[in-house]
Chains A and B, each alone.
Chain A
Amino acid sequence: MSMELRTSPHQVSDRSVERIMKHVVLSLLPVCGFSIWQYGLSALALLLTVTATCLATERLLNRAAKQPSTLNDWSAAITGVLLALTLPPAFPLWMAVVAGFVAIAIGKALFGGLGFNVFNPALIGRAFVQAAFPVAITTWVPAFSAQRFTELVPTTLTAPLMMPPDIVEWVKLQAVDAFTGATPLARWKFENVVASSYDLLTGVVTASAGETSAILILLCGVYLAARKFMDWRIPVAVLGSAALTAWLFQLYDPTHFPAPTFVLLSGGLMLGAVYMATDMATSPVTPLGVWIYGAVIGVVTVMIRYFGGLTEGVMYAILLGNALTPFIDLYTQPRVFGTRQGKKK
């Protein structure tokens, strides 16, 4: 009998990188489905294009680095899907390809791949195209237009390197009630109109492809947290600190500042808190650190929304949190067992 030697432990759990990442992707499918139902073919084309670009970029760079394929760890797929969900539904596809490429190549591969990246790759991609294509990324289209399953929004198929056509006339033709062409956050900021919580919860508002229905994102997040594929403390910290900050501002001046519910449910905060801030590689590992990290993101998001030039602040708040992560980890090392005084009994 030949014996095999190995070191303990000889029994391990079924947790694996592939399994965690796969479940994150699967949990995003309802959000994707809702987006496609709302925006039709354009949203579908956007999702497929960005995800395919991310996967292709990952594989290409594997090959360039003479490494085995890392596609089967599912992390590039997460980046692709998340990035697509943060873009406007009618975002020109060629620009979406740029976003996907930048996300993987600069946001991830440049740092050494999964686990080594400092910033959330999807947000790097989004930040890049926000700076590069400021008009396209704030061009919104109405949801539930009659022809959404038969024709694409004119901007979707813009020729590469060309600016997208103006779609004001096209939007008018869709004749969707109450479409303003501005997100709830922009309407609050520039017109002081606060959207109803019901609309924000159910997603019948103008927004990026996957940021519309706060309740759907929340439910998907609850699933992930319940299966322990996500750290529940981070979204709780982000949403909690954002709500608290908003509540304090509202106490100070109720006529100018909206209710905490509006802050929580509008824009990309829910998607950011549940899916972006919780990216494992770019968030702290220490128990105290995750709370600090989440709190920083929540406060900064509200500050940017209230006092910055931008209408939305989630992306930069999370990128800032990512940048702070190593420092947060360094200064919040857990206190080792045996260095505290337990209660005698």
Chain B
Amino acid sequence: MRLPFFKRAATFEHGIHPAYHKETGSLPIKRMAFAPRLIVPLSQHIGKPAVCCVSVGQEVSRGQVIATADGFVSLPVHAPATGIVEAIGLMPAANGKMVDSITIRVYEADSQEVRVCTPRDVDSLDKKALLAAIQDTGVSGFGGATFPAHVKLSVPPETVIDTMVVNGAECEPFLTCDHRIMVERTQDLIRGIRIAMKVSGAPRTVIGVEDNKPDAIAAIQAALPADGSITVQALETKYPQGAEDTIIYALLGREIPAGQRPASIGVLVNNVMTLAYLGRLLPAGEGIIERVLTVAGPGVEKPGNYIVPIGTPLRFLLEQVGAKGSAKEIILGGPMMGMTISSLDVPITKGTSGVLAFGKGELPEETPRVYACIKCGECLNVCPKFLNPSQLGLLAAKREYAEMAERYNLDRCFECGCCSYVCPSHIPLVQQFRIAKAVNREKASA
């Protein structure tokens, strides 16, 4: 069923209405102090890791390139603070792996101004120069996929983009950093949108914002250019409204054909924070050295939206916001798709949109009694991809992973978690699907 004519907010079919906990949405962005040591991984994006161009013991200035991009699908890394390179080597990352990182000891007495920057007139640059400039900023998608921004904006010559969708849905509970960016950095956002439209050739832009952020919609509305090329559209507050498939469907009524990219239907999707940072960094000629993220959850005393230098260790960040000793679980990202971390020594990276802390008993029971599937069918009613999680779960229990992919479209699942959210039998559906996909991948590569 498409939107009934009387419904104002655009939306997609299925999905869930979790408790949103968006209390931090009204708190202005604050700057967080510099940690004594920053750990900057060389790979914070999808693509080839950057190549380190500094050595141990070298002094670096805030904003200076410390690792260069290795080819087109790669991004440079900039020094998030003025200090001295203390170590270059393997450090733990959030996903549990060890990754090559540069550790910088921050000069405490330094004023920490951005010293390395080359302000420029963005309007005078042509497409090619703009793309190179975008790559130089080191910006990757802040929405979660961490896809390098310049790669996404490089539209192949045979592809025609008719609409750019700007994703301001922020449908994950707790997270409000996109919300604050839209309210406080509206001009940056509009500037970023203009640059992205110029580079991609998109003649029009639709900004989608969930209707639980009326102040963001109003702020954008007031800043829109008069030519009507950019519009803002309220979206129903519903999870996962901000997924690529769902936001395109909600705003444009188009479905991305299974297994293809949005460009195949003439659409480009960018996250609001990605564009707002481009609109801020490009004219200033700076690289990405910090990001706005939400720190929230019952386990912290000072929840809010903070500008955090890239490389800030979680332990330091949690001390700054007054993490309670009872905090047992730290989630990076939102509660629906984010991941828990095993160590507080991992750093904040470009892709970290939120840090949530929970104590014991503040999250659902770790191992509730799992019943057999009672075939209530609620998972089919909520799956935004119209899959049959019930059947997939029954097959996963029998380890028929190949059948799951061949007959029941396992690969279309993007692990949004709606099925697990509603399952009355507490079957860990999403986790079963992850395992199934991993097994299938391994079989395919073998």
Contact = CB atoms under 8 A, between A and B. Distances in A.
Answer yes or no: do A and B interact.
yes
A344 B16 CA distance: 25
Contacts of B173: 11
Contact of B254 (A8, A11, A344): A344
Nearest to B318: A1
Nearest to B252: A345
Interface string B388-427: 1011000000000000000011001001010011111110
Q: Please report whether the interface of chain A is mostly helix, strand, loop or mixed according to DSSP.
A: loop
Interface stretch (A38-46, A183-191, A249-257, A282-290): A282-290
Nearest to B16: A13
Interface string A8-20: 1111110111011
A285 B385 contact: no
A334 B382 CA distance: 12
A4 B340 contact: yes
Contact of A114 (B2, B337, B371, B428): B371
Interface string B348-373: 00000000001000011010100111
B386 A336 contact: yes
B19 A1 contact: no
Contact of A19 (B327, B424, B434): B424
Contacts, number: 172
Contact of B380 (A4, A73, A287, A341): A287
Interface stretch (B25-33, B210-218, B256-264): B256-264
A17 B374 contact: yes
A344 B252 contact: yes
Contact of B417 (A8, A17, A336, A345): A8
A9 B252 CA distance: 28
A13 B364 CA distance: 9
Interface string A310-345: 000000000000000000010001111111111111
Nearest to A290: B377
B211 to A, nearest CB: 20
Contacts of A343: 2, 253
Nearest to A325: B375
A198 interface: no
Contacts of A339: 255, 257-258
Contacts of B249: 337, 342
A345 B421 CA distance: 32
B376 A338 contact: no
B424 A16 contact: yes
Nearest to A287: B380
A113 interface: yes
Interface in A102-132: 112-116
Interface string B314-327: 00000000000101
B337 A8 contact: yes
Size band of the A side of the interface?
35 or more
Nearest to B377: A285
Contacts of B51: none
Contacts of A344: 252-254
A5 interface: yes
Contact of B408 (A7, A333, A342): A333
B327 A1 contact: yes
Nearest to A329: B391
B375 A280 contact: yes
B330 interface: yes
A113 B377 contact: no
Contacts of A194: none
A17 B255 CA distance: 34
Interface in B16-60: 16, 18-19
Contacts of A73: 371
B328 interface: yes
B430 interface: yes
A236 interface: no
B221 interface: no
A98 interface: no
Given A1-B327, A334-B387, A339-B258, A7 B428 contact: yes
B112 interface: no
Nearest to A7: B431
A154 to B, nearest CB: 41
Contact of B335 (A9, A290, A336): A9
Nearest to A113: B372
A112 B421 CA distance: 26
Given A285-B388, A334-B386, A344-B254, A8 B339 contact: yes
A284 B381 CA distance: 13
B327 to A, nearest CB: 7
A17 B369 CA distance: 10
Given A285-B380, A287-B380, A115 B259 contact: no
B83 interface: no
Contacts of A58: none
Given A11-B19, A12-B364, A1 B2 contact: no
B338 interface: yes
Contact of A1 (B339, B344, B371): B344
A3 B344 contact: yes
B342 interface: yes
Contacts of B122: none
B426 A3 contact: no
A13 B321 CA distance: 28
Nearest to A15: B424
Contacts of A287: 380-381
Interface of A: 1-13, 15-17, 19-20, 73, 112-116, 231, 280-287, 290, 329, 333-345
User: What 10 A-B pairs come out closest when comparing CB atoms?
Assistant: A9-B417, A115-B372, A285-B377, A338-B258, A11-B335, A10-B335, A15-B424, A337-B385, A280-B376, A334-B386
Given A3-B344, A4-B329, A10-B336, 20 more contacts: A7-B340, A9-B430, A10-B335, A13-B16, A13-B422, A16-B426, A17-B371, A113-B372, A115-B375, A282-B375, A284-B377, A285-B375, A285-B376, A285-B380, A333-B391, A334-B380, A338-B255, A338-B385, A340-B255, A342-B254
30 contacts: A1-B328, A4-B329, A5-B340, A6-B366, A8-B430, A9-B336, A9-B420, A10-B329, A10-B335, A12-B420, A13-B421, A16-B424, A17-B371, A20-B376, A231-B377, A280-B376, A281-B375, A285-B377, A334-B388, A336-B412, A337-B386, A337-B412, A338-B245, A338-B257, A338-B258, A338-B385, A339-B257, A342-B249, A342-B252, A344-B254
